[in-house]
């Protein structure tokens, strides 16, 4: 998913991916719980990044419920801020990898 810089507003170019996620969830009721995890790079304060990542995860959940028709009870949103990087935070390219939302089937 793509977001405006330092914002939780999902960019329109993410709609196709979100529609596909909603379709899969609607067609597969055996997926009972999906965790939406928000992550950030380490730039800025940890508290601010955790809040931003939580808002972004919540925005994805809201989109899936309101526009995708997914039952909210099947979704949970968590923000982890910079706590779970997948790349070093030394360059802009590596920081960009850490600014992400991951979807995990948990049940």
Model confidence pLDDT, tens digit, residues 30-70: 999 999 999 999 988 999 999 999 999 999 999 999 999 99
What is the per-residue pLDDT for 96?
87
Tell me what the mean pLDDT of segment 70-76 comes to: 98
DSSP letters of the chain? --B-TT--PBPGGGHHHHHHHHHHHHH-TT---EEEEEE--SSS-HHHHHHHHHHHHHHHHHHHHHTT---GGGEEEEE-TTSS-SS-SSSHHHHHHHSEEEEEE--
**pLDDT of 5 higher than 80:** no
Domain limits for position 60: 12-105
What is the per-residue pLDDT for 92?
87
Q: What is the pTM of this model?
A: 0.91
Q: Is residue 63 in some structural domain?
A: yes
Q: Is residue 87 in some structural domain?
A: yes
What does the block give as tokens for 89? 């935070």
- CATH number, residue 27: 3.30.1330.60
Our count of domains for the chain comes to: 1
Q: Is residue 5 in some structural domain?
A: no
Q: What percent of the chain is predicted at pLDDT more than 70? A: 100
Q: Is residue 93 in some structural domain?
A: yes
Give me the residue label for tokens 């989109």.
63
């Amino acid at each position: 998913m793509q977001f405006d810089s330092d914002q939780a507003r999902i960019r329109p170019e993410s709609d196709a991916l979100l529609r596909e996620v909603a379709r899969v969830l609607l067609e597969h009721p055996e997926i009972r719980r999906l965790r939406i995890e928000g992550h950030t790079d380490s730039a800025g304060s940890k508290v601010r990044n955790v809040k931003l990542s939580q808002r972004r995860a919540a925005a994805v959940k809201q989109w899936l419920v309101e526009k995708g028709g997914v039952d909210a009870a099947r979704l949970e949103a968590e923000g982890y801020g910079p706590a779970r990087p997948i790349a070093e935070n030394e360059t802009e390219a590596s920081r960009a990898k850490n600014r992400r939302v991951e979807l995990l089937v948990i049940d």
